[in-house]
Structure 1
Amino acid sequence: MSKGMYVPKESQPKQGGAGAKSTAKDGEKGGKRRIVAQNKKARHDYAIIDTYEAGLVLTGTEVKSLRQGRTSLADGFVQIDGGEAWLYNAHIPEYSQGSWTNHSARRKRKLLLHREEIDKLSVKSEETGHTIVPLALYFKDGRAKAEIALARGKKEYDKRQTLREKQDRRETDRAIAAAKRRQRHA
């Protein structure tokens, strides 16, 4: 190769040799996800019907702040306005090294989805009891993504039932682990 000549990335030799690790899962398009924020309360308060991956339109300081990982999705929700999906109340704090270019911490942010997905979400979210909630913010191949879900609100007894099932699973897992430990030492 001559010096200064542009070579597309695909034709450049791979680095790392035969033992290099791939960031993508087998048979899956894209790379590994680095989760920045999760909305654990959403899985407790809502029954998840369907999940979607959406891109986020962010400013430079928002991306840098996201990479620092101090983000909160606890009050966040998604609405479809004018054929576009918007993320409201997601708290991305101001970037510590930012200047006058810093962003507003709770501004609305545009979500990038396919037209069919937006239309489907719009129709489903207008049904009684359905809403769209953010589940996680993460980086995938260097791009900020949001995992959003079409969800239905849980009643109080549903929440208690879910907690009971979770505790039962924990107890059985502990009992199995204890039995295995006893079996190894016997």
Structure 2
Amino acid sequence: MKQSTFNLNEQNQKIESRIVVALERISEAFRVLLWNESKENALSPIQIQILIFIHFHSLEKCKVGYLADEFNMTKATISDSVRVLLNKALVSKETDPTDTRSYSLSLTSEGKNIAKKASFFASSMQQPIEKLTEAQKKAMLNGLLKLIHDLNKSGIITIQRMCFTCSFYKAENGIHYCNLLKTPLAETEIRVDCPEHQMAK
């Protein structure tokens, strides 16, 4: 009979189980940091995430449907959050001239101020990572990228704008290469969120 990853005996016997539990602890730290940031601004965690996303991504990605896929939520849930942000004058609608039913979201000046500050909510996570050796950082990044890619392929994580899912990316004999940049990529240069990403078919 298969044992739960959270079973202590299972953890003691399998490194995979200890890694999963360690990732769960880290995700809890992100939840706490995000919750603290959202309370400070009288917003929900997802509303803070939406503001940060809009701040750093192009207008065509800042639509309700795309945000729903990005955060693995229903359009209705995202729409409710967007309605609050609109009422608080933190975002505004940019109507698509070719389709009046479609609109993108952009930040107001107050929305930009909150998004800019809130975007540092995870900075305390970066400090311990900076203390790792370059070899440890490289191994961690490589392992996490492979994990994210596999979770994406299995449908657990939806949208990914990483090199592994991009039409410009290719790998031969262990060498990563970007056809857009026309250059080889070191393992530490593989992107998690690329603005030029085009989903491979």
TM-score range, shorter chain: under 0.3
Select the structure of larger CA radius of gyration: 1
Q: Higher helix share goes to which structure?
A: 2
Q: Which has the higher contact order (CA 8 A, sep 6+)?
A: 1
Question: TM (normalized to structure 2)?
Answer: 0.21
Question: TM (normalized to structure 1)?
Answer: 0.22
